[in-house]
Chain A
């Protein structure tokens, strides 16, 4: 039970990071972006490449942080990858979604997002191969925190939890203390009113893609650290991400963070009572339950 709780919180915190970008874009641009999960894969693989580049540049960067399998070069690679993934997300919007929202409608954008997702997934498979890989092949030993009830925790997992917490707190401070954060919240809540209050819609949309892409990249690295890198990792996460965004209420950043935790915990705890094969059904059940009880999600506003 305790182990399931820990695993649920870990997976949930990774889902939260991915769901925040998804919910922002869904709310501001009024379309369900099914390619968002592929940004997670993109960020994870960019980190893999940049890690190799940085390590080749200086062997000193390959040294591991104490107790962790995470190297300095991996941290630097992640920082660079979150910027690159954010820019890539903004470029995808500029090349594809911007044209579609001006000339077509939300439904066309949804179908286009499926296409973009397929392209990203297959390009990753083409470049990196279809086999799963790890950031490093060292064996990460788990520490026994408690024997009864059993709780095994890897140092990397504590690192992931600390990292996601740091990102969440930073995001909270950005959204609640800065005028740019207010502006992003305003555009998310009411784009027309935000514009007549002097906020430039196009620049805020770009910022939302940048932010969403960057958070997805962090989520990708965390997911890969906890599991492994695979071209289909985005596909495997997409339903859970949507469940997290819907549970939290579309447009609510805090809702997405909580939604991610709920989906992660529910999926993990459900395995105590149902066979593993039914695990993919859990996000669907959560979506159904929340939509039945609160059609606008936990933090969603009626529109």
Chain B
């Protein structure tokens, strides 16, 4: 399946990657998105959704295929250099430095900024007032929702052009999850492309513009987020029936 061609934004073309070279978790995955768009990757457990995000962020070795951002190929670039080139990843777990204070976490993340760190950090405190209240607290003492806000603030502090979110609502209370997902359209309006992996499919599709469905490490389906919400194909993919058909058709 080839992704829709767009002039700027993120383009992933037939990406094959995994944790061990030669043993791919995702195979020939393609997607495209433009700035200001929210795209979610959904699919059953083990589909390779998080692996895809890690491969885009430079954390995994890529066997074949390319990732490009604004017409610049970024495949194979180390994660630290990628993060300085506008790619920000918020991992699902361990996404803050627990032993450091909120201030130290933000200052550390602001090392990537071109502007003075103070201004960038102040912008984040304005965007996330709860972090201003806990500014000197140890990050490990924050609640689940506050931790997620801090993790997102650390990603946004350097004004990235691509924000990769791995299960942003995982482990949060329904209210906190709603707050986290609810702020994504506002972030996207600042021309940030948001690519999100989320298990809470309905909530993710509600805030997304488009979605890609992955199963067994491959593209299975894509479409408008709201249309997908009522698409029976989605249920079939989750139940496995659709995948069997796709593989059967391929083998013929």
**Which residues on A are within 8 Å of B, measured CB to CB?**
179, 182-183, 185-186, 189-190, 192-193, 195-201, 301
- State which of B103-111, B225-233, B234-242 sits at the interface with chain A: B103-111
The reply to whether A186 and B83 contact each other, CB–CB distance below 8 Å, is no
Q: Which residues of chain B in 73-119 are interfacial with respect to chain A, using CB atoms and an 8 Å cutoff?
A: 78-80, 82-84, 88-89, 91, 94-100, 104, 107-109, 111-112
Hey, which chain A residues are within 8 Å of B109, CB to CB?
Answer: 197-198
Count of chain A to chain B residue pairs whose CB atoms are closer than 8 Å in the complex: 66
Once the chains are docked, how many angstroms separate the CA of A182 from the CA of B79?
18
Interface of A is mostly: helix
The reply to whether A200 and B80 contact each other, CB–CB distance below 8 Å, is yes
The reply to whether A197 and B78 contact each other, CB–CB distance below 8 Å, is no
A42 vs chain B, min Cβ distance (A): 31
Q: Given A186, A198, A199, which contacts B100 in the complex, CB threshold below 8 Å?
A: A186
Hey, which chain A residues are within 8 Å of B97, CB to CB?
Answer: 185-186, 189-190, 193
Contact A197/B154 with A186-B108, A301-B98 known, Cβ cut-off 8 Å: yes
Contact A179/B108 with A193-B97, A196-B57, A200-B80 known, Cβ cut-off 8 Å: yes
The reply to whether B111 and A199 contact each other, CB–CB distance below 8 Å, is yes
Hey, which chain B residues are within 8 Å of A196, CB to CB?
Answer: 57, 59, 79-80, 82-83, 88-89, 91
Hey, which chain B residues are within 8 Å of A182, CB to CB?
Answer: 100, 104, 107-108
Once the chains are docked, how many angstroms separate the CA of A198 from the CA of B57?
12
The reply to whether B99 and A198 contact each other, CB–CB distance below 8 Å, is no
Q: Given B80, B88, B158, which contacts A195 in the complex, CB threshold below 8 Å?
A: B80
Q: Which residues of chain B in 110-152 are interfacial with respect to chain A, using CB atoms and an 8 Å cutoff?
A: 111-112
Once the chains are docked, how many angstroms separate the CA of A198 from the CA of B79?
7
Hey, which chain B residues are within 8 Å of A179, CB to CB?
Answer: 107-108, 111
The closest CB in chain A to the CB of B95 belongs to A193
Q: Which residues of chain B in 50-80 are interfacial with respect to chain A, using CB atoms and an 8 Å cutoff?
A: 57, 59, 78-80
Hey, which chain B residues are within 8 Å of A201, CB to CB?
Answer: 80
A216 vs chain B, min Cβ distance (A): 24
A204 vs chain B, min Cβ distance (A): 10
A145 vs chain B, min Cβ distance (A): 39
A193 vs chain B, min Cβ distance (A): 6
Q: List 9 A-B contacts (CB under 8 A).
A: A189-B97, A193-B91, A196-B57, A196-B59, A196-B80, A197-B108, A198-B83, A200-B80, A301-B99
The reply to whether B112 and A198 contact each other, CB–CB distance below 8 Å, is yes
The reply to whether A198 and B95 contact each other, CB–CB distance below 8 Å, is no
- Chain A CB within 10 A, most for which of B79, B109, B112, B158: B79
Contact A198/B59 with A183-B108, A189-B97, A192-B91 known, Cβ cut-off 8 Å: no
The reply to whether B94 and A185 contact each other, CB–CB distance below 8 Å, is no
**Closest 6 CB pairs between A and B?**
A198-B112, A195-B79, A198-B83, A200-B80, A182-B108, A196-B89
